[in-house]
Structure 1
C-alpha cells in the first residue's frame, strides 16, 4: 500500500476525520511536519498552516520561517506565523525553555483554530516520538497514564503521522523531494529525549530489529489496560464525587468502603493531582481531627464531620479584591455575577441573592474581597457586633465555602454585606432612606 493510501486510511479510519473537515497544520519546517503538509496537500484537504518562530536560534529560526512561508505560498495555502519571546516568557513563568515553547504554541494553536473555525489541530509526531515519550515518562516515574506514550487523538488535537517510524519519514521526504530543515538542537544529547532517541533506542534495535513495532504493540496493551481501569474507576468517582459550586462534596461513608484500598483511592483522586503519600496520610488519619486539610499542587481536600470537601486552590485571598466606583452597574467576582441598580422604592424584597442598601451611607469606591482574620460586622437582626469567623461558625459554613464568600466593604472600612448571607445592620434601608441601592448576586 502506498504512503498516501496508508495516510488516508489512518486519518479516516483510526482518527475518524471526514473529508470536509478543516485542519490547522502545525508546521515547524522539519522533515516530519513538512511530510504531513505534503500528504494533506496531495489529498486536497482544506488546511491552513501555522508556524511558530520561537526566536531561539537567531538566523536559523528565520530560515525555518522562510521555508514554511515559501512552501505555503507555492501551494496556495494560508500561512499564519507567530513570533514568540520565548526566553522572556520562560523567565517570567519560571519554567524551562522547552515547556515555555510548548505552552506558547498550543495556546496559540487553540486560539487560531477557534478564530478560523477549523475542525482539528494537527501535529506531526511519529511513532518514534511515541516510544521516546514512553521512556522519558518511565525515567521520571509514572503509572499507566504516562506509559500510554502519545495519544493519537485528544479532543481537537490529531497526530496523523503516528503510524510512521522516523526512518520512514526520512525515506518518504527524500523520495518525494520535500524541502525541510533540521533543527541542530535535535542532535544534542544534553536533552533527555535526544539521549533516548540517539543512544538508547538504537541499542534496543540491535536486539530487536523491528523494535518500534514491538513497542507500539506494548504501548497499545498499556493503553487498553488504562481504558479498562477507567471503565471501573469513572463510574465510582461520578457516584461519590458530587459537584458543587465550590468544587466537590464527598460523603465519608460512601468513600469509606474503599479507604483500605490505596491504589483505588489514588485512582479516584488522580485527576486532582494528589500523591500517594498524601492519600496514604488521609487513609491513616481517617478518624482524625475534623478540619484537617490535604493538598495537591492545585487542590485542597478538607476533612469535615460527614464529608470531604474538594476544591481548587485559591490565590492568596489578600490579593483577590475588586474596587468598585459609582459607575459600576455589573461585574463578576470569583464565581459570582453582580448587578447594581438605584431607586427610591423602600419596599423590602425578600429574595435569595438580593440585598437593598441605604445608598446615602455608601462612600465610594467600595471594595469586594474575601474575609480576613479580625473582620467583624453588625449582622442584621442581631444585637451588637460579631466576628465574621464566629458568624460563619453559627451559620454552619464549612471552611472551604467561607474562603469563597465575597465581602462588600465601604470606603470607610466597614463591612456592608456578607454576600448572600447577611447585610450589616448599619446599612439597612429605613423610613428616612432616600436612595436605595439594590444589589443582585448570582
Structure 2
C-alpha cells in the first residue's frame, strides 16, 4: 500500500518509502525491540511517527529484554520505562538469566541473548495474534463489522528490529571471512517471516544525525567499544579504515550489493523449487534425489537443490557446509551402494536411480537386547532378532557399527558395519539391490537371522523350486580359493545361507507381488 506523506527530511522519507516498498506494516500489532540504544530509539520514534502521520490503526508495543549481564542493565531498563511513559507507548519488560541460558545450551552469552530475545518477541507476537482471533469471534456485531473493514486486522503481528546498513556491512564481512555462499553475501533481509528491519536503508551516521536533530536521549552500551570482540573490531576498526582509505561509500555499496544479491537469491530459489519438484521424492523422513534429473541440472542449481534436501532432512541449516554438498554430488559418479556420512546423523546413499538421504539410527550392539554377539573376531556371530525392526508400520532401521573382514571380488576388504531396514513393499527393488545390499521377503524369514562366517552343514537354495546344495559346492563351482572361503560373510537362518556376500544370493525369501514387508540387509564399506 502506498501512503500519502507529509513533507519531511530526506532520511525519514527514505525510511517511509522503504517501509512501503517492502510492505512492512501490514498488521494490526507491531512489536518493537527496544534496548534503549540510539538505533532502537530512532526506530521506535520513526515508526511511531509513521503510524500517526498516516492515521494507521496499528498497536505499537515496545519490548525490552534485560539480559542481567552488564552493570548498567537496570539503568537501561529504567530509561526505557521512562521513554515509553513519556511517549505513551505500551511496554513489556522481560528479565532473563542470559549467563545461565548460555551454559545450559552451550552457547556464547551473545548467542544465548539473541536466541532468547527473539523467542520472547515470537511468544508475544503469538499472544497478540491469539487475542485478535478471540476478538473476531467474541466481539459484538458492530465491533466485528468495524474490525472486518480494517485491512490489516487479521494479519500476523510484525516484529521490528533496528538493524541498519552498518550492521548489514558487518554481517557480510563476517560471512565472507568465515567462508560463505550466496546467502551470506545477501546479508540481512529487510523482511523475514514476522521480522521487519525498517532502518536497513540508513547508515549509522544518519541514525545519529536523526537523534541529534530530534534531541532524543539514549543509553550507550559500553561493551560496543571493546575491540576484543570480532564484530566490534569490524565495526570500529575495519569498516572505518575502508571508508577512510578505500571508499567513503563502502557501507552503502555493500548494502546495495546485498539488495542485488537478495533479488538474485529470490530468482535462484524459484529455479531450485522447480528443480526440487521434478527431482526429489519425499517418503516420510527419506528424501530421494533422482540421479538422471540431478545430472541434467546446472551444477550451481544442483548444489542448491542438495543443500535444500540436507536442510530439510536435518530440519536445520547451521553446520551444513559446501563440503557436505560436494560429498553428496560425488555419489553421482560412484558405484551403487556407496554412501557418505553427513551432519545431524544424516547419511546419503547411492541407489540405482536415486540418492537416498535419511537419518542414520545407530544401535549400540553391546547394550541391545535384540542382538547377541560372539566377540572372537575369527568366529564372528551376530544374532539379530528381526522383531526389533517390526515396531510400527513406518520404515524401521537398525545400524550395527562393527569392523570385520569379508571376501569380495577376489580379495579381502574391510566392512565397517551392517544396516537392516524394514519397509513396506512399495519400493523399487532395483533401487536397493546391489553388490552390498539385498532385499528379502520379511515374512518368509524366521524371527532371527545370523551374520557369521561358514560352519559345517551350511547350504543355500539355488532355484525357485527349492532345490539346494552345500555351500562348499557353491565355492567349488565358482572357483573360490580355499584361503578365501573362511572370510566369506554369510546372512543365515540356522544353516540356510540367504546371502553369501560377494558370491551370490539365495533363491529363498525372494520379494514378490504378494510380499507385504521387505527386509533390506546392507553391508557398509
Q: Same fold (TM over 0.5)?
A: yes
Higher Rg of the two aligned structures: 2
Alpha-carbon deviations, 1:382-409, whole Å to 9, x = none? 6853359989997335689xxxxxxxxx
Aligned residue number for residue 518 of structure 2: 396
- Looking at structure 2, the residues matched to 278 and 187 of structure 1 have their Cα atoms a distance apart, in angstroms, of 37
| Structure 1, unpaired ranges of 5+ | 319-337, 339-351, 354-368, 401-442
Aligned residue number for residue 237 of structure 1: 276
Q: CA deviation at 1:153?
A: 0.6
- Looking at structure 2, the residues matched to 153 and 301 of structure 1 have their Cα atoms a distance apart, in angstroms, of 34
Note closer, same or farther for the CA distance 1:277–1:38 as it changes in structure 2 (3 Å cut).
closer
Correspondence 1:267 to 2:304: yes
Aligned residue number for residue 296 of structure 2: 257
Q: CA deviation at 1:209?
A: 2.5
Note closer, same or farther for the CA distance 1:85–1:208 as it changes in structure 2 (3 Å cut).
same
Correspondence 1:386 to 2:448: yes
Q: CA deviation at 1:67?
A: 1.3
- Looking at structure 2, the residues matched to 314 and 174 of structure 1 have their Cα atoms a distance apart, in angstroms, of 60
- Looking at structure 1, the residues matched to 48 and 253 of structure 2 have their Cα atoms a distance apart, in angstroms, of 31
Q: CA deviation at 1:174?
A: 2.0
Calculate the aligned-residue CA RMSD, in Å.
3.6
Greater Cα shift, 171-180 or 207-216: 207-216
Correspondence 1:29 to 2:36: yes
Greater Cα shift, 247-256 or 125-134: 247-256
Correspondence 1:280 to 2:331: no
- Looking at structure 1, the residues matched to 86 and 300 of structure 2 have their Cα atoms a distance apart, in angstroms, of 55
Whether the 8 Å contact between 1:25 and 1:48 is mirrored in structure 2 is yes
Correspondence 1:198 to 2:243: no
- SS of the residue corresponding to residue 281 of structure 2 reads strand
Aligned residue number for residue 190 of structure 2: 152
- Looking at structure 2, the residues matched to 67 and 140 of structure 1 have their Cα atoms a distance apart, in angstroms, of 37
- SS of the residue corresponding to residue 311 of structure 1 reads strand
Whether the 8 Å contact between 2:362 and 2:398 is mirrored in structure 1 is no
- SS of the residue corresponding to residue 145 of structure 1 reads helix
Aligned residue number for residue 14 of structure 2: 6
Q: CA deviation at 1:238?
A: 2.2
- Looking at structure 2, the residues matched to 73 and 307 of structure 1 have their Cα atoms a distance apart, in angstroms, of 62
Correspondence 1:164 to 2:197: no
| Structure 2, unpaired ranges of 5+ | 1-7, 53-57, 130-155, 312-319, 366-391, 401-417, 421-440, 452-490, 494-508, 512-516
- Looking at structure 1, the residues matched to 235 and 35 of structure 2 have their Cα atoms a distance apart, in angstroms, of 19
Q: CA deviation at 1:72?
A: 2.1
TM-score normalised per structure 2:
0.59
Note closer, same or farther for the CA distance 1:388–1:301 as it changes in structure 2 (3 Å cut).
farther
Q: CA deviation at 1:370?
A: 7.7
- Looking at structure 1, the residues matched to 168 and 178 of structure 2 have their Cα atoms a distance apart, in angstroms, of 16
Pick from 277, 280, 294: which aligns with 2:341?
Answer: 294
Q: CA deviation at 1:381?
A: 7.0
Whether the 8 Å contact between 1:147 and 1:219 is mirrored in structure 2 is yes
Note closer, same or farther for the CA distance 1:238–1:176 as it changes in structure 2 (3 Å cut).
same
- After superposition, residues 31-430 of structure 1 pair within 5 angstroms as 31-42=38-49, 43-44=51-52, 45-57=58-70, 59-117=71-129, 119-206=157-244, 207-258=246-297, 262-271=299-308, 272=310, 274-285=320-331, 286-290=333-337, 292-297=339-344, 299-311=346-358, 385-387=447-449, 395-396=517-518
Greater Cα shift, 239-248 or 22-31: 239-248
Whether the 8 Å contact between 2:290 and 2:355 is mirrored in structure 1 is yes
- Looking at structure 2, the residues matched to 209 and 300 of structure 1 have their Cα atoms a distance apart, in angstroms, of 48
- Looking at structure 2, the residues matched to 72 and 99 of structure 1 have their Cα atoms a distance apart, in angstroms, of 27
Whether the 8 Å contact between 2:363 and 2:398 is mirrored in structure 1 is no
Note closer, same or farther for the CA distance 1:317–1:116 as it changes in structure 2 (3 Å cut).
farther
